[in-house]
Amino acid sequence: MANHKATKKDVRQAAKRRDRNRYHGKTTRNAIRDLKENKEKKAFDESLPTVAAMIDKLAKRGVIHKNKAANLKSKLAKKSNALATA
């Protein structure tokens, strides 16, 4: 366990950040899952910008890598285009 005052504070801050990152990551994963289950093009396209913004925020915060964010958004856009043709 940490002995210095500053190290104890750092442990508290890291725990807070970890909880916050886990919350936002899980919320975004659930939003992506719900979006993928959507079969209607109109409803899918309405919620796509919101989910894309959530993914961008995760990348900006450093929770996920920027390339992973790009891959996720690309897959969602691909699914949107597939719904358009179907």
CATH number at residue 77: 1.20.58.110
Contact 59, 83 (CB under 8 A): no
CA distance 75 to 48: 11
CA distance 14 to 66: 22
Kindly report the number of other CB atoms within 10 A of residue 35's CB atom: 18
Domain around 11: 5-85
Task: Kindly provide the residue ranges of all beta strands, DSSP E only, lying in the chain, ordered along the sequence.
Answer: none
CA distance 59 to 14: 18
Model confidence over 29-67: pLDDT tens digits? 999 999 999 989 999 999 999 999 999 999 999 999 999
pTM of this structure: 0.86
Domain count of the fold of the chain: 1
Per-residue confidence (pLDDT) for residue 10, from 0 to 100: 95
